[in-house]
Copies of this chain bind each other. A is one copy, B any other.
């Protein structure tokens, strides 16, 4: 009875590892079901006995990446820092994570589920955890905001920082040059942190 479940987990792990390696090497766009299963040392069809589809497998790779991002951000911005510095440290941590784990980080945003399929609950939860990491110091800077407004502003701040990193690294549009990225993001957050207490909006 035990052997079956164990080997099923082993299969999932092997496929996840292989997919991660392939993404690191060739980006999400270069990920093929055949390469992935070959690298994992299993048959093509086995992918579909371990996961519902290739898309759902990618989602699991992304879940791992999200967990690592969460950990890195917590490590980068300890709770004993003053709130403004903590915000800057979070932004810096995000930039460095994106640079260090670029293909896996990019996969978080490049991957789209097919039309009908909803994002799983634990994914949204992982996002919310990261948002709360921002909402913490933000609450100290904006004691006037309620929990609702705080959550809203945290998402907006994250999205702003993310946007700068994203355009810079994907290089589609004319983004911030890579060499200036970290400094620009820090300047952005500092401007926001300075602008925030003086503002009555939101």
Q: Which of A13-21, A40-48, A70-78, A155-163 contacts B (4 or more CB under 8 A)?
A: A155-163
Report if A86 contacts B (CB, 8 A): no
How many chain copies?
2
The interface bits of chain A over 144-160 (1 if a CB of B lies within 8 angstroms of the residue's CB, else 0) are 00000000110111111
CA distance A153 to B164 in the complex (A): 11
* Prevailing SS type, chain A contact patch: helix
Q: Which of A1-9, A31-39, A96-104, A182-190 contacts B (4 or more CB under 8 A)?
A: A182-190
Q: Are A192 and B192 in contact (CB under 8 A)?
A: yes
- Measured CB to CB, the nearest residue on chain B to A157 is B188
Min CB–CB distance A136 → chain B (angstroms): 16
CA distance A109 to B162 in the complex (A): 14
Report if A198 contacts B (CB, 8 A): yes
Report if A92 contacts B (CB, 8 A): no
- Measured CB to CB, the nearest residue on chain B to A186 is B201
Q: Are A195 and B184 in contact (CB under 8 A)?
A: no
Min CB–CB distance A116 → chain B (angstroms): 13
Q: Are B188 and A199 in contact (CB under 8 A)?
A: no
Report if A196 contacts B (CB, 8 A): yes
Enumerate the 9 nearest inter-chain pairs by beta-carbon distance, A residue then B residue, closest first.
Answer: A163-B163, A191-B195, A195-B195, A160-B160, A127-B174, A194-B195, A159-B167, A159-B164, A156-B184
